[in-house]
Every structure is written in C-alpha cells, then in structure tokens.
Amino acid sequence: MIKSNLPRPRWLQPLMLLSPTTLFLLVFFCGPLAIMVTYSLLEPGIYGGVEWTFYDQNYGRIFGWADGLYEEFDPIYLETFAKSVRLALITVATTLLICYPAAFWISRLPSRTRSICMFLITLPFFVSMIVRLYAWLLILRPTGVINQLLMSLGLISEPLEMMYTEGAVIVGMTYIFLPFMFLPIYASIEKLPGSLIEASQDLGASPVRTFFRVILPLTLPGVISGAIIVFIPSLGNFIVPGLLGGAKVMMVGNLIEQQFLYARNWPFGAALSFMIMAAMLFLLLIYVRVQSRSIGASRGEGV
C-alpha cells in the first residue's frame, strides 16, 4: 500500500542497494553452511584432514548403519542428542514459567514505569554471556555464595554439590535466555484487550477459567515464538554445560566441540552440527507458520 504511492523507480537503485549484502551473505553465510553439509558426507582423513570421497559412515555412526569395519555405531550420540533436547525443553519450560507472570505484571504498569522495566529486561541481553555465566559459577561453587550462606547459618555442615549437575546447566541456560522468552510473550500480552478479560469475568467465569479460555489462547503465538527462540540456542549450547556441567553433563554441542578441537574428525563433527541445523530449520518453518497465522488472525479481528 505504501509502496504503490511511490513513483516507479529505476530497477538499478534497489539492485545496487541489495546486491552487496546479498553477495556477502551468499558467500559468507550460505557458502559455509553448504561446505559444512558437504563435509558431513566426506571421509575423514588419517591426519585430521578430509578425503574427497562420498562417505555415509559419519551419519552411520549416529543412526546405526555403520559397518563396524571403519566406523562403529554407538548409541551415545543419539542419547546425547535426546538429552540435549530434554534439557532444552526444560529450559523452555522454566523460562516460560518465570517470564509469563512477569510479562503480565509489567503490561499492567503505568507507561513510564513500564518502559523503565522493559529497558531493564533488555539490558542483560547485551551483557556478555560469559560474564553472566561466570556469576553462576560464583554462586553455585562449593565455596560459592549459596554454600557460604547456608554454612554460616548452620543449616549444612558440608558444602552442597551443586556444580556439575543438570540442575546447574538448566539454571545457567534459563538465566542467559530469559530475555528471549520475555520479549515475544510481552508483545502478545500487551496486545491483549483488557475488555475481553472483563467480559469473561462479567459473564461469571472464574479467574482460572478466564486464564485458560481467554488469556492463554490469545497469547499462545507469543508463547510459541518464545519457546522456539529459546529452544534453538539451548539445543546446541556447549558453553553452559562446559562450565556448569563439566564432564558429567555433556550435551551435543560438547560432542561437536570435541570433534573439532580435540578428536580432529571434522566430517563427523559436521554431521553432528547438521543435526542441530536441521532441527533449527524445522522449528523455523513452524515459527513462520505461527507468525503468519497470528498476523492473519489479528487482521481479521480489525475488520
């Protein structure tokens, strides 16, 4: 609508504006991804390099068709992937439980306080991830804040072992991905018309019923967006399990890191990375679906 009012420009202008960026991303984004996928189908060389022959054994090691001659199938890879999915799902659940009430609270605040709160929530996103994780190292360590506090209160006599547990990894991921969940939920709650909630209450619905029948369905697109945006970086994370999980809680990201930095089996590492990429692309498709449907729904409402 806006565009149609503009005089029809020469085709050269948009081309000149668009082509450097397109070229850059085709070469340095699409190119590397294509090479990575290619690598996952090549044979690992003896000294860490790669042989340019087709080789399906990298995926065979993961999914079970490895012949046992050169490569061996090991269920540990699929198990680790499943564990990563589980930890990422728990992270989605905890961020959702923490953010939903908070977003509801902030959306009801007077506008000035609200914008200050929004600013305070966006800010940690820009604080280095490593600094934010380091804080939890100080808190959870055997000589950390929680143990010092509990011991000085006399509640425990020996420090609790909180580091190197799945709980620690979940706390770390929840903490760093909180803003990712908050912003889409807040956006959908803010759009929620207060009159609908009042109408539901006037018609005699209990608060619980109002929540499940009116509020939750209307904010569901925000919840789904947030869930996907938190799930994707959690799934492939290796910094959090590396620092807070140690050798006890390994995720698929740690396996990939090992293949590249220590085992030097790049094709196998590329195959593992491709699994994360495939999961991400699949979720992105759902995300686009949800987005376009919610835009369509809100347009329908307006008419």
Partner 1 sequence: MHSTFSTRLLSLYGVLFFLFIYLPIGLIFVYSFNSNPINMMVWQSFTFDWYRTIFGFSAEVTEATLYVESTDQLIGAVQNSLIVASVAASLSTLLGTAAALALYRFRVRLEGFYRALMMTPMMMPDIVLGIALLIFFVSIGIDLGVTTIMIGHCTFLISYVFIIVSARLAGMDPSLEEASADLGATPFTTFRRITLPRILPGVMGGLMLAFIISMDDLVITYFISGVDATTLPVFILSMIRRGVKPEINAIASMLLMFSIIVASLGIYLRARSEKRL
Q: Which of 96, 102, 150, 214 binds partner 1 (CB under 8 A)?
A: 102
Q: Which of 61, 273, 290, 294 binds partner 1 (CB under 8 A)?
A: 273
Q: At what angle do helices 216-235 and 76-107 cross, to 10 degrees?
A: 140
Considering only 1-9, 62-70, 73-81, 186-194, which stretch makes contact with partner 1 by CB under 8 A? 1-9
Which parts of 228-247 interact with partner 1 (CB under 8 A)? Answer: 229, 232-233, 235-239, 243
Q: Is 83 in the site for partner 1 (CB under 8 A)?
A: no
Q: Which is nearer to partner 1, 131 or 153 (CB)?
A: 131
CB of 157 to partner 1, least distance (A): 17
Which parts of 107-146 interact with partner 1 (CB under 8 A)? Answer: 108, 115, 117, 119-132, 134-139, 141, 143-145
Place of tokens 């991905």: 177
Place of tokens 């409402």: 301
Which parts of 139-178 interact with partner 1 (CB under 8 A)? Answer: 139, 141, 143-145, 148, 175, 178
On whether the CB atoms of residues 181 and 230 are closer than 8 A, the answer is yes
Considering only 73-81, 96-104, 153-161, 209-217, which stretch makes contact with partner 1 by CB under 8 A? 96-104
Q: Is 284 in the site for partner 1 (CB under 8 A)?
A: yes
Which parts of 13-42 interact with partner 1 (CB under 8 A)? Answer: 13-14, 17-18, 20-22, 24-26, 28-33, 35-36, 39
Considering only 55-63, 89-97, 99-107, 189-197, which stretch makes contact with partner 1 by CB under 8 A? 99-107
d(CA 7, CA 179): 41
